Amino acid sequence: MEQLSTFSSSDCDSVIARSPKGDAAIPGLLRSARNDIWNLGLTDYEEVRRWQIQHASDVALKNAKEVIVMTEHHPVYTCGRKTLPHERPMTGDIPIVDIERGGGLTYHGPGQIVGYPILNLDRRKMSIPKYLRKLEQALIAALAEEGIEARYREECLAGVWIGDKKVASIGIAVRRWVTFHGFALNVDCDLTPFRNARPCGMSGEKVTSLADSNYSVEKNRLHGQIAAHLMREFF
């Protein structure tokens, strides 16, 4: 029986990339020197989501290898299983997608660093709360390398905060102890879509970005630091 657990907290060329083991195709641009992390550039959310679901199933069946997908999406709202009707945007032309992860509504768009670890927790003997803390720790450690003091707020609220504002959202799903979905760190994205909704049930004014918090970072360097800390935490 399959069990689903859910928890929260510049166009590129369109090509088809395959993992070195020949796993299912994923849309996007593969730019990674490692087999464990795939860097896809700017992608369509729904295409990557469908691929995640299939790949997580393949990992659970031992037909594919674990991987951490890092990307950035065209503008989209995603609504987790706890999203309430009044939290959705009332106007605008940004697509809204209902999905299977935990948590509420969030926004994805250019200017974020998004990561989707597809990992077998059972193989690591790792609980879901511990996995969430490790995601947060990887982001916090990478930001610390840039001189940015960030933290997680409470044990029951997944995500990363700068002061009293949220800079990274975390929302995951787990099937047969394999994770998918993940995190989105706001680097220099447009915050207006957050203001037009209630992300994670909060006022959009409670969401920030590194740029909005007066931190200027080189995104490609930060991307690499996050990847390195994820590798240390999980591989």
Catalytic residue list = 200
**How far is the C-alpha of 107 from the C-alpha of 197, rounded, in Å?**
9
Q: In sequence order, what are the residues at sequence separation of 6 or more whose Cβ sits closer than 8 angstroms to the Cβ of residue 65?
A: 19, 21, 23, 35, 59
Region class of 170: left (phi > 0), else alpha (psi between -120 and 50), else beta: beta
Neighbours of 153 (CB within 10 A): 14
Cα–Cα distance for residue pair 95/74, rounded to 1 Å? 10
> What is the rounded CA–CA span in Å between residue 113 and residue 42?
10
118 φψ region: left (φ > 0), alpha (ψ -120 to 50), beta (else): beta
Task: Sort residue 3 into left (φ over 0), alpha (ψ -120 to 50) or beta.
Answer: beta
User: Which backbone phi and psi does 234 adopt, to 5 degrees?
Assistant: -120, -15
